[in-house]
């Protein structure tokens, strides 16, 4: 299949791997930012094919995983209210809040619906003018533009019974927070290609320069990952730290101007809490004052809900690359995809789910050596 098979060619993969093996002379720790990249790496065993000196650290780029428990609890509260139709993508329904999830709210009589687009939720609002329809808007720079467009359309079309529960986050401030952490081991980044296809690469040169870290924009197929790793280790071995676009078939330097204009119109940059990590300054978006009537948090007065995250789940360390999923004591025992303790086990992009799905149940020698918990 075009654009799929051509990026899974075993001969090309072997050549890229040979190139990486002959380039690397020292240990390097690279972080793949996106959960989709993590799944490609684990599913295809790419980390096991790399030289022992190259460690891949799994980053925080899974939208479900980084949505704070507090926001899940706000969603549960709103979805439980009489007269509300609560719409969400399916992967959020099993994410545990405090004591329950959206499936349980639906089982108890709440009107919780799975939709495939925020515009589906807007249509439901048009069809049910006497009900309050809320869409759960989470995720990174990739999901934010369609959600912004939906709020823009709600205002333009005069649909007053639609609102958005917003928990959008931005990648560059997370990279900065990771690099500022005293326990940071990351020496190079595979940046998330789809985020850059929206936002472009303009925010990265300053980060690369300030932290002297190479940032290579990388795609999601096995050959994309290998090429991203190859370009990153070449820079590291040469002592360079530039921004490099290894995903030009999808990413233009300026990104998608129409999507960026829509984001600018509808959202304001704000501080956001990341699950297990805490508040990162300027790392998210909220609806701008012009669209305040469409803000579910404001409309349902749930902004006072505050929640403490469960101590037994170590997803915060997983999301910061400080712990491999199978090094968590609960992994595969107390915590499985059927009985998830944390969002990184629920989401299809979560690192814990990837390790469970692809049977990474044993510690590798490298992780055993690097792990602070064994
Ligand atoms: S295995 Fe489960 S409990 Fe452990 S960090 Fe992952 S989600 Fe949390």
Indicate which atom in ligand 1 lies nearest the CA of residue 346: 7
**Coil, strand or helix: which one is 363?**
coil
Are 48 and 95 in contact, with CB atoms under 8 Å apart?
Answer: no
Say yes or no to pLDDT of 372 above 50.
Answer: no
Indicate which atom in ligand 1 lies nearest the CA of residue 342: 7
The Cα 354–Cα 265 span in angstroms is 36
Whole-number pLDDT of residue 62: 87
Are 214 and 244 in contact, with CB atoms under 8 Å apart?
Answer: yes
Q: What is the pLDDT of residues 254-285, one digit of tens each?
A: 999 999 999 999 999 999 998 878 899 999 99
Indicate which atom in ligand 1 lies nearest the CA of residue 332: 1
Give the residue-averaged pLDDT of 21-43: 95
Question: How does residue 4 score in pLDDT terms, banded at 50, 70 and 90?
Answer: low
Residue 100 CA, ligand 1 centroid: distance in Å: 17
Residue of 204, 194, 254, 199 lying closest to 224 (CA atoms): 194
Task: Using most ligand atoms within 8 A of CB, pick from 325, 332, 356 the residue to mutate for ligand 1.
Answer: 325
Question: How does residue 179 score in pLDDT terms, banded at 50, 70 and 90?
Answer: very high
The Cα 101–Cα 99 span in angstroms is 7
Q: Which domains does the chain have, with CATH numbers?
A: 1-309 (3.40.50.11740), 315-367 (no CATH)
CA dist 118 to 81, 95, 311, Å? 20, 19, 33
The Cα 71–Cα 55 span in angstroms is 33
Q: What predicted TM-score, i.e. pTM, was given to this entire model?
A: 0.88
Task: Using most ligand atoms within 8 A of CB, pick from 314, 332, 339 the residue to mutate for ligand 1.
Answer: 314
Residue 315 CA, ligand 1 centroid: distance in Å: 5
Whole-number pLDDT of residue 230: 98
Angle at 187 between CA 18 and CA 371, to 5 degrees: 90
Residue 143 CA, ligand 1 centroid: distance in Å: 25
The more confidently predicted of residues 333 and 257 is: 257
Q: What is the pLDDT of residues 47-59, one digit of tens each?
A: 999 999 999 998 8
Task: Using most ligand atoms within 8 A of CB, pick from 345, 355, 373 the residue to mutate for ligand 1.
Answer: 345
Atom 3 of ligand 1, residue of closest alpha carbon: 313
Average pLDDT value for the chain: 91
Atom 1 of ligand 1, residue of closest alpha carbon: 331
Residue 167 CA, ligand 1 centroid: distance in Å: 22
Interacting residues of 326 by C-beta distance below 8 A, sequence separation 6+: 332, 355, 360, 361, 362, 363, 367
Residue 345 CA, ligand 1 centroid: distance in Å: 6
What residues does ligand 1 touch, defined as CB less than 6 Å away? 313-315, 318, 325, 328, 330-331, 335, 341-342, 344-345, 352
Say yes or no to pLDDT of 373 above 60.
Answer: no
Residue 116 CA, ligand 1 centroid: distance in Å: 27
Atom 8 of ligand 1, residue of closest alpha carbon: 313
Q: In what order do the strands lie in the sheet with 28-34?
A: 54-61, 28-34, 188-192, 215-218, 243-245
Residue 352 CA, ligand 1 centroid: distance in Å: 6
Q: What is the pLDDT of residues 194-206, one digit of tens each?
A: 999 999 999 999 9
For residue 117, the Cα-to-chain-centroid distance in whole angstroms is 18
Residue 320 CA, ligand 1 centroid: distance in Å: 13
CA dist 15 to 18, 79, 227, 236, Å? 5, 52, 10, 20
Residue 337 CA, ligand 1 centroid: distance in Å: 10
Question: How does residue 149 score in pLDDT terms, banded at 50, 70 and 90?
Answer: very high
The more confidently predicted of residues 305 and 260 is: 260
Indicate which atom in ligand 1 lies nearest the CA of residue 323: 5
The more confidently predicted of residues 344 and 256 is: 256
């Amino acid at each position: 299949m075009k654009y799929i098979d051509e990026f899974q060619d075993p001969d090309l993969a072997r050549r890229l791997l040979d190139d990486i093996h002959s380039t690397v002379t020292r240990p390097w720790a690279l972080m793949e930012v996106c959960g989709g990249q993590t799944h490609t790496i684990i599913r295809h065993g790419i980390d096991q094919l790399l030289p022992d000196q190259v460690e891949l650290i799994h980053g925080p780029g899974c939208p479900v995983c980084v949505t704070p428990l507090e926001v899940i609890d706000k969603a549960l509260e709103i979805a439980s209210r009489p007269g509300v139709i609560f719409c969400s993508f399916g992967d959020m329904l099993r994410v545990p809040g405090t004591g329950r999830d959206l499936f349980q709210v639906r089982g108890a009589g709440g009107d919780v619906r799975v939709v495939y687009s925020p515009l589906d939720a807007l249509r439901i609002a048009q069809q049910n003018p006497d009900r309050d329809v809320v869409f759960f808007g989470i995720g990174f720079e990739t999901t934010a533009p369609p959600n912004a467009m939906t709020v823009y359309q709600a205002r333009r079309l005069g649909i007053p019974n639609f609102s958005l529960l917003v928990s959008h986050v931005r990648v560059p401030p997370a990279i900065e927070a990771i690099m500022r952490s005293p326990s940071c081991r990351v020496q190079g980044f595979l940046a998330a290609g789809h985020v850059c296809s929206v936002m472009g690469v303009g925010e990265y040169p300053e980060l690369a320069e300030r932290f002297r870290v190479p940032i290579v924009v990388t795609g999601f197929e096995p050959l994309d990952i290998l090429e991203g790793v190859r370009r990153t280790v070449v820079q590291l071995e040469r002592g360079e730290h530039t921004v490099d676009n290894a995903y030009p078939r999808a990413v233009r330097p300026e990104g998608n101007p129409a999507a960026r204009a829509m984001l600018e119109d509808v959202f304001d940059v704000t501080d956001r809490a990341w699950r297990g990590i805490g508040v990162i300054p300027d790392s998210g978006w909220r609806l701008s004052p012009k669209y305040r009537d469409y803000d579910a948090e404001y409309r349902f007065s749930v902004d006072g809900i505050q929640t403490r995250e469960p101590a037994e789940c170590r997803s915060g360390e997983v999301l910061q690359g400080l712990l491999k999923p199978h090094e968590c004591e609960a992994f595969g025992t107390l915590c499985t995809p059927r009985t998830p303790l944390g969002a990184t086990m629920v989401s299809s992009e979560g690192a814990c789910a990837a390790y469970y799905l692809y049977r990474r149940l044993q510690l590798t020698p490298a992780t055993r050596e690097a792990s602070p918990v064994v």
